[in-house]
Structure 1
Amino acid sequence: MFDTLTAMPADPILGLMTKYRDDPRAYKIDLGVGVYKDEIGHTPILTCVKKAEQHRIDTETTKVYIGPTGSADFNLLLTQLAFGHDNPALLANRIRTVSTPGGTGALRVAADFIQRASTRTSSGQAVIWVSDPTWANHTGLFEAAGIIVKTYPYYDYDSKSLKFDEMKAALTKVGPDDVVLLHACCHNPSGMDLSTDQWDQIVELTKDQGFTPLIDMAYQGFGDGINEDAYGVRKMAAAVDTMILCSSCSKNFGLYRERIGACSIMGKDSASVNVAFSVLLYVVRCLYSMPPAHGAAIVETILGSPELKQEWLDELKVMRDRINGNRIMLVNKLTEKGAPGNFDFIVQQKGMFSFLGVNQEQVALLQQNNGIYMVDSSRISIAGIGLTNVDHLAESIANVL
């Protein structure tokens, strides 16, 4: 049986991590992996997480299965965090949420749910539209569930800006049986987000076209703030009948290895969303049966405590301010080192990532000559920049340009 298989290409980021690890140069810089790092290149455990985890250890009495939906408290608190306590859809009991193994698990649950729902559409074939570019794993996740993946224009590599008019034009051609994936904030990989006015226009377009929006929110709080980053989610939920939200606690709570996220579905009324929820639970049962409990318990402890929640918001602000500060610092250093071109677009972008705007040959030279590691598209993780390496980084970029 195995003899019929052909090797799959290695994930470029995972391969980059291996090359970086094996590089003996002391001045090497890792700008590939998408995790938060502090000034010394460490990904710390948040203080509020340590406190919540200790509470978990002290009070946990069993390791029995938690149930397919996960913790009801976690689901409610994370739903309120994303949609807002006063969202009309939430108040009307039109939203159902399940805990999932990370944001990736949430997306795969959503993908299988979409595929099951598509059997009742006129075409019988699920189609999802994703931004060009989008997170590299989006396409694989949806295709693995048997969904056809199409793209709509999003990022202009030449002008380092959003192709908003082209995006809208493409979405006007999307049919009511299709799904459109939107990034809530901190677009991965471009860092180029929709403005509030642009979100308003996309929401209106979604209502007119009748397609189902699937919003991926992996970085709530890393852009402008918890509420600000959820603007599109909340605006959409208040305007349309049905939508899907996939969220993650990996970045904003620093719970990368705990693998906890959520998938929320919203229906036009309580009765219809209950039917959809039964299908969602069947999908969960077939994929992994029961979600992990530890990360969810940490998050619900933090969000359920006014003191710990405030401590979390403060720590989240430190991470957000560091990333935004790194953007400004890099642009200033590139100017100081005489790099040709205008790099103000880096400051205008949000979240963990940015396209640097160098070509594949220059990316290879930066790695070979300067020990600077980034993916071939020149997408860099802003969190990998620090006071100790920004001069080397900026000078190397200036030289290669």
Structure 2
Amino acid sequence: MFETLQAQPADKILMLMQMFREDPREQKIDLGVGVYKNADGQTPIMRAVKAAEKKVWETQDTKSYTGLAGDPAFADAMIDLILAGAVARDTIAAVATPGGTGACRQAFEAIKMARPGARVFVSDPTWPNHLSILKYLGMEVVPYRYFDGETRGVDIAGMLEDIGKAGPGDVVLLHGCCHNPTGANPNSADWDAIIASLQNSGATAMVDIAYQGFGDGLEEDAAATRKLAAALPELLIAASCSKNFGVYRERTGLLMLIAQDTGAKALNQGTLAFLNRQNYSFPPDHGARIVTAVLTDAELRADWQAELEDVRLSMLGLREELANELRRLSGSDRFGFLAQHRGMFSRLGTTPELVEKLRVDHGIYMVGDSRMNIAGLNKQTVPILAQAIIDCGI
């Protein structure tokens, strides 16, 4: 029967990783894959995570299944981290998932179950896996304007016009902070306008928050999500621990479904647990235990927040250095947007042909749409990248 299978489109980022590994040049720079790297090019285990893992190893006395929703303590800790009391706990249904990707997948499944004909409004551009999963599930995608190619900021007027076309039964997918792939984010006034649009249209919002703590700080990065949760009758939140806890391979995520009608919580919780059962039954637990240990131990949490802040400031510093070097080399401030963007990524806003030229001529690897991982840089490679950008005529 399997002779009927057809080859699937190759993942562009995975292809880029393979090409980078096979490139024999010593002076090559990987700005493709979305993984944090320190100045030595390593993705370290955070101190608090290492300590929490040891604590779990010493105290855990069983490897039996958790419940279908995962460990309740993990959900409570993550809900507190992201929402901090913005809504009452008894309005929130939550399940642990295999990473943020699993949370997004389960959210889309819940949407499809509730409204089979739902349209999902998605920023143009967005994280490619959003589109891939939605296509696989056969769900209708409606792009909305987001990235302004001239200013390299958010096209808020275009965004509001487009999401205003959503209606009851539709979903508007939003990035909670540190937009992937552009690094451009709405400001506080923009978020107020987005909320007003959603209230007016009756559309349901879904937030993908994968980089809390990488942008302007833990509290600041959650501000928009908290506003949405407090202002809207319903909200889906897909959260990832991969980046801010550095537990990429542990696949640690959480899906929340908020309904201001507290009577809906039991039904929502049962639905999310049912979807977990159909997909993978019991969610992974090791990463969730580590995250819970960090967030519920005052000393570990303080150390984690301090290291996370160092990571955030490091990325901001690299942004400033790159923008300054490009200003020096170009004699203009046309790359100033790099210092204004937040998170791991920025989009240069150039052509796939010039991105390919960067790779061929200079050994610099970034996604074809010119998304680059700022965390892939260090003080030595910033001037190399800046010179290559100028040499390629970007």
Taking every aligned residue pair, what percent have the same amino acid on both sides?
43
2:56 maps to a residue whose letter is R
2:143 maps to a residue whose letter is T
- TM (norm. structure 2) is 0.98
- Retained in 2: the 8 A contact 1:31–1:381? yes
- The structure-2 alpha-carbon separation of the partners of 1:358 and 1:341, relative to structure 1 and needing over 3 Å to count, comes to farther
Shift of 1:47: 0.4
- Secondary structure at 2:208's aligned position in 1? strand
Unaligned 5+ segments in structure 1 are: 120-124
Shift of 1:361: 1.4
Shift of 1:136: 0.5
Task: Answer yes or no: is 1:180 the counterpart of 2:172.
Answer: yes
- Retained in 2: the 8 A contact 1:339–1:398? no
Task: Answer yes or no: is 1:327 the counterpart of 2:319.
Answer: yes
- Retained in 2: the 8 A contact 1:66–1:293? yes
Unaligned 5+ segments in structure 2 are: none
- Retained in 2: the 8 A contact 1:222–1:319? yes
Task: Answer yes or no: is 1:222 the counterpart of 2:208.
Answer: no
Partner of 2:150: 158
- Secondary structure at 2:93's aligned position in 1? strand
2:322 maps to a residue whose letter is L
Matches within 5 A, 1:174-323: 174-323=166-315
Shift of 1:386: 0.7
Aligned length: 393
Shift of 1:340: 6.2
- Secondary structure at 1:275's aligned position in 2? helix
- Secondary structure at 2:21's aligned position in 1? helix
Q: Following the alignment from structure 2 to structure 1, what is the Cα–Cα distance between the partners of residues 27 and 332?
A: 24
Partner of 2:65: 65
- Retained in 2: the 8 A contact 1:132–1:151? yes
Q: Which of 84, 87, 90 is residue 88 of structure 2 equivalent to?
A: 90
Partner of 1:122: none
- Retained in 1: the 8 A contact 2:120–2:140? yes
Task: Answer yes or no: is 1:144 the counterpart of 2:165.
Answer: no
Q: Following the alignment from structure 2 to structure 1, what is the Cα–Cα distance between the partners of residues 183 and 137?
A: 27
Partner of 2:340: 348
- TM (norm. structure 1) is 0.96
Partner of 1:45: 45
Task: Answer yes or no: is 1:26 the counterpart of 2:26.
Answer: yes
1:40 maps to a residue whose letter is D
Shift of 1:236: 0.9
- Secondary structure at 1:230's aligned position in 2? helix
Partner of 2:362: 370
- Retained in 1: the 8 A contact 2:93–2:268? no
What is the root-mean-square deviation in Å for CA atoms of aligned residues? 1.2
Shift of 1:207: 1.1
Q: Following the alignment from structure 1 to structure 2, what is the Cα–Cα distance between the partners of residues 258 and 157?
A: 36
CA deviation profile, 1:337-395 (whole Å, cap 9, x unmatched)? 33766101111111000012321111111111111001111110000111121121111
Q: Following the alignment from structure 2 to structure 1, what is the Cα–Cα distance between the partners of residues 136 and 350?
A: 32
Q: Following the alignment from structure 1 to structure 2, what is the Cα–Cα distance between the partners of residues 357 and 208?
A: 33
- Retained in 2: the 8 A contact 1:83–1:90? no
Matches within 5 A, 1:8-19: 8-19=8-19
Matches within 5 A, 1:115-126: 115-119=112-116, 125-126=117-118
2:88 maps to a residue whose letter is L
Q: Following the alignment from structure 1 to structure 2, what is the Cα–Cα distance between the partners of residues 165 and 126?
A: 24
CA deviation profile, 1:21-49 (whole Å, cap 9, x unmatched)? 11111110000011100001110000000
- The structure-2 alpha-carbon separation of the partners of 1:340 and 1:374, relative to structure 1 and needing over 3 Å to count, comes to farther
- Retained in 2: the 8 A contact 1:108–1:145? no
Shift of 1:173: 1.2
CA deviation profile, 1:197-231 (whole Å, cap 9, x unmatched)? 11111112111111110000000111011110111
- Retained in 1: the 8 A contact 2:215–2:312? yes
1:241 maps to a residue whose letter is P
- Retained in 2: the 8 A contact 1:360–1:376? yes
Q: Following the alignment from structure 1 to structure 2, what is the Cα–Cα distance between the partners of residues 387 and 199?
A: 34
- Secondary structure at 2:231's aligned position in 1? coil
2:312 maps to a residue whose letter is R
1:80 maps to a residue whose letter is D
